[in-house]
Structure 1
């Protein structure tokens, strides 16, 4: 985000006046900044937002886990949208007073800020799985009438960074086209945008065991996902697996069955009555397997 805020006006510096228009009253520009200030001022605001997100995560992360993500996503869209609109309005103008009006840009920026903040809040509002050393028993005692739920999430920082870099390239290409710096490169956009979304969906996974069975969701929103009912599951166990055994990172299929491998170590492994196996590398897998075995036994399909 910081790179985009600085790079956009810098790349267009030879095609814009100095100073540049940065404030409008109605459709007429009525305020300006030097080109250097126009590059550094929004970058400074972004750094303040990052600091605010860190503080929010530190003091209110438990009560409002979605707040830091919403703050960064909404603020990032607002600042980059404003920066792109300033470049577009000043591009190929001899004086800042001749800058183009901003009416349509304002509506698009406000709408994009709201959507980005909402999506980020939805994606990050759930807290992570509780830490601690779980018992390794294959089953657990469920009190009569109790409804137990197990949830665990795992992510791959490397894949998340890769997805962010691809997304940065996609956004940068779109903004460069929107500001008039370059022509619209459909081939680059169609390559970067879907790839970044696919990598993002493969960079995190969440598993949930309830009385309805096992649900495994991918990406920050838990979509797409897979579901196994209790009638489908023959047994569940916790098993140590490595990327070499699974055939690599990500969603892998080999002789072991299907494995979602985001980190080496203990995986939750379920075996269906058809003999197929599905493994997912999530924390607290022992407890998830124990609860799943207990639920299948209570439903009349004892684990094997």
Structure 2
């Protein structure tokens, strides 16, 4: 029995599209946040207590303290990491179709970090005892308002995302079956990631850290769980073989989705717009269709025996569809001949 390795059939990808000016726009708010916090710290460094108040209860009373060096590490290090991450995504066009959202999210994170960092420093100014420093909850509301405003500014500065002609959503097109010899076994596998979740995960984690440091860690748990979910499911491995279609996280064994050949009628290729077709990203359900939608563009589309359609966005979907159609044809021929009529 031969094994046909279709995982090497993917055509060579072209060089990444570099977008230096858009990447500069994406990084600017993080630079501004770092400069603002650094400038304020430098101007008041002789007027703040050591250690300074860093953590506060829900009523604004300080209950934990940190050194100036630790404060700077958190308030300058996290924005720097986020800024570099988003800048690289935008520079290499790795968030194709979601660049505007990535830039707007970056602006919001930078605004949140900058506002909280400056506010914490100013509240510590001229405090003889750090335990007497207060950070009213309204300051956190102000920081969130600044973040929202910064997100609007970021979206406007980013401009509209370009949509290539081959990314326009359309109906699934049938795919001819792959030629398989008698007794030949074939397998296909790809890993696909979601630029949106890659950006959203660190962003939620950053918000959680800030809330934990500024208010309390109980309020940060929800953001930490959401961030972990985004990062775990920011990529999935899609496999097509004699068992059918399997979609699973490459990081954890469960959850795993499997659609056996017995539930399939036909496989094809479809162009997907996450917002236009499914209203968002992730595991989606809408009007007779379901699927795992991680990005815009090419998707493997399965017409199931119950009349529904299942899609998963993945590169080289045509090869997966051709393989599944070949395996479906083979299964139907086996059922038609019957076990007693096989050679």
Query: TM-score, with normalisation over the residues of structure 2?
Result: 0.45
Bigger relative CO (Cα 8 Å, ≥ 6 apart): 2
